[in-house]
Structure 1
Amino acid sequence: MRDLGVGVRCLLAGQRWVARNGRAYGFGLLPGLITLVLYAAVLVSLALWGEDFVAWATPFADGWPGPWLGLFRGFLTAVLFALALLLAVVSFTAVTLLIGQPFYEELSERVDRSVSPDGTAPETSRPLWRDLWVSARDGLRIVARSAVWSVLLFALGFLPVVGQTVIPVVGFFVTGFFLTEELTAVALERRGVELRERLALLRDRKMLAWGFGTPLGLAFLVPFVAVFLMPGAVAGATLLARELLGEETAAVGKDGTPQETAAAEAPDGPVPGAEVAYRP
């Protein structure tokens, strides 16, 4: 249960960090807004022309009697839109992170420097194009894994009673786990931690991943909220990555907010009244 609380605290601390750093927050909003516009365009196009696409894809049904043809193609159109919406929810974080790779790398490094005892942050030695390639490759792998889980849980949702009670809860925890993996990837990739190692770290501390990702996944269900929470989620995931790797974290204020300028303002040690972060 301790890990569950630590995950939640990292999530909240990340949001507080961006609230105190307005410029970084505004900078971090851009990728989410771009992704939102792209996804909205795709979904609107699907709503307008999805029925035409289904009719083109099912020529064998052209000769069916009136009501059956309409019911069949109407059902397929609804399923197509539902799956597209599900895929959009599952892939939103991965696509936003890919589009915003330079933005979020800079944000994550700033968080690392603000809570590192020596004021430094791990830096990747790879060129930007290589970082983008690795991010896209790993993002596709995670989206594929989460899509398989999503389809499975969608199918199990038709089971009586269990499908309407247990399965949605399981779905939120699965979503939380994969959200945590995608978001911590920004900080962990800079440290040279590959996808397989990242998944192993999170599987060993599932409660930590659930405490961070599950509340975030629930918040993402509210329209447009994901866009505004993404910068803070990346900041919080950086703190979570430090926790996963057991890295020492500098002093924070009594409200739990990392003191970004502590090193500069207090050369002889932590600011008065500060305590060690995320080490209950």
Structure 2
Amino acid sequence: MLKGNFFQGLGYLGEGFRLIRQPGLRLFVLLPLIINVILFALLFYGMAQGFSSLIAMAMGWLPDWQWLQALSWLFWLLYGAVILLMLAYGFVIVANLIGSPFYGYLAELTEKLLTGQEVSTDAGWAGIVKDIPRALWREVQKIGYYLPRAIGLLVIGLIPVVNLVAALLWFLFNSWMMALQYVDYPADNHKVSFPALRRQLGDTRLSAFGFGMPVALASMVPLLNLIVVPAAVCGATAYWVRERDPGANIQPG
């Protein structure tokens, strides 16, 4: 039986957008945002170049059945949705790989704002520099978890007829990955391992999907996806402190 509160999970991204407007957090929102703008422009250009050829190749693998060819528009739509979902999380992977030290500190500042308690003694720019190797290794762990499952879904998406469910599977998987991706920042600040985090989110899977779904949707919207990353970090931190201790005295976002 799935546990958690899906609707409560839905509210965390909105809380994150409110939190990023706080004066003490703005600097660590703006710096990664500049990085994200540059990365998104490069990634979008590369994906746009390869999209048409990938669709043509996939359509060429279809059997020469008249009813399948008549539904070619549907396959274009489904493959387009899959590519968009791949682009959304691909952008998140690259942006977070570079911005991870900033996001870890942003999560730390957000938690202090919500709880009034210090998370770490390594504050400021020195703490960010010190955490770079650990933050990068954490991102590599997430990529290692993501890639084999993404490849499996990509294979499913290339099988005629079966691929009709590929877009839905991609969306559900992306939603789960978004929750893992962002809740990992406050979890890492508390030295919680990535496998342990997966188990914790699995214990409240409905809340995790409730948080991850709007983040996944926002990541697919041009321009909005540029600011959703820091908002998701702040929202994930609110998720972390509230879901771990529902009865805690936490300041509203």
* CA distances 1:234-280 after superposition (whole Å, capped 9, x unpaired): 0010111123433764344xxxx33xxxxxxxxxxxxxxxxxxxxxx
Residue identity in the other structure for 2:28: F
Instruction: Report deviation, 1:180.
Output: 0.5
Matches within 5 A, 1:169-188: 169-188=168-187
The answer to whether structure 1 residue 24 and structure 2 residue 64 are counterparts is: no
The answer to whether structure 1 residue 137 and structure 2 residue 134 are counterparts is: no
The answer to whether structure 1 residue 228 and structure 2 residue 250 are counterparts is: no
Match of 2:45 in 1: 44
Residue identity in the other structure for 2:174: T
Whether the 8 Å contact between 1:98 and 1:135 is mirrored in structure 2 is no
Name the count of aligned residue pairs.
226
TM-score normalised by structure 2 residue count: 0.73
Whether the 8 Å contact between 1:43 and 1:84 is mirrored in structure 2 is no
User: Identity rate of aligned residues, in percent?
Assistant: 21
* CA distances 1:131-174 after superposition (whole Å, capped 9, x unpaired): 23322322322331452354155246x427xx54x554443222
Instruction: Report deviation, 1:220.
Output: 1.8
Whether the 8 Å contact between 2:85 and 2:171 is mirrored in structure 1 is no
Whether the 8 Å contact between 1:150 and 1:171 is mirrored in structure 2 is yes
Q: Return the alpha-carbon distance in structure 2 between the equivalents of residues 140 and 244 of structure 1.
A: 25
Instruction: Report deviation, 1:207.
Output: 0.3
Structure 2 stretches of 5 or more lacking a match?
62-75
Match of 1:159 in 2: 161
Instruction: Report deviation, 1:214.
Output: 0.6
Q: Which has the higher contact order (CA 8 A, sep 6+)?
A: 2
Whether the 8 Å contact between 2:101 and 2:132 is mirrored in structure 1 is no
Q: Return the alpha-carbon distance in structure 1 between the equivalents of residues 58 and 203 of structure 2.
A: 45
Match of 2:71 in 1: none
Instruction: Report deviation, 1:178.
Output: 0.6
Match of 2:117 in 1: 120
> Which secondary structure state, in structure 2, belongs to the residue aligned with residue 100 of structure 1?
helix
Whether the 8 Å contact between 1:31 and 1:100 is mirrored in structure 2 is yes
> Which secondary structure state, in structure 1, belongs to the residue aligned with residue 5 of structure 2?
helix
* CA distances 1:18-54 after superposition (whole Å, capped 9, x unpaired): 13x1562453143244244234325435656x59x99
Higher helix share: 2
Residue identity in the other structure for 2:235: G
Distance 1:138 1:36, change over 3 A: farther
Whether the 8 Å contact between 1:142 and 1:182 is mirrored in structure 2 is no
Superposition RMSD on alpha carbons, in Å? 3.5
Q: Return the alpha-carbon distance in structure 2 between the equivalents of residues 14 and 167 of structure 1.
A: 30
Which stretch shows the higher mean deviation, 37-46 or 5-14? Answer: 37-46
Whether the 8 Å contact between 1:146 and 1:178 is mirrored in structure 2 is no
Instruction: Report deviation, 1:191.
Output: 0.8
Q: Return the alpha-carbon distance in structure 2 between the equivalents of residues 195 and 104 of structure 1.
A: 16
Instruction: Report deviation, 1:182.
Output: 0.3
Q: Return the alpha-carbon distance in structure 2 between the equivalents of residues 237 and 73 of structure 1.
A: 37
